[in-house]
Amino acid sequence: MSDRELYCDVCEGVALFEAPPCVDGHGTDCPELICTGCGSAMVIATFTFRVTRLADRQRRQPTRHAA
């Protein structure tokens, strides 16, 4: 089991979290963690996504219209 100190919303403070025995075969890298203080569960989702900025896109030039 892997132990980590993380912020727990239920305990409202830093608490020790541990990974339960993982049935999915993740071992100590299991994204599911359990707070040892209150028993609440947390899933650490690791994913990547592309960040786009306005500068990367083509900006449209403002146009004026007659009133």
The pLDDT tens digits for 20-35 are: 888 888 776 788 889 9
- What pLDDT score does 32 carry? 87
What 3-state class would DSSP assign to 29?
helix
- What pLDDT score does 60 carry? 65
Mean pLDDT by 10-residue block, N- to C-terminus, for the chain (67 residues)? 80 90 79 90 77 61 73
- What pLDDT score does 1 carry? 47
Cα 18–Cα 48–Cα 6 angle in degrees, nearest 5: 25
- What pLDDT score does 44 carry? 82
Q: What is the pTM of this model?
A: 0.57
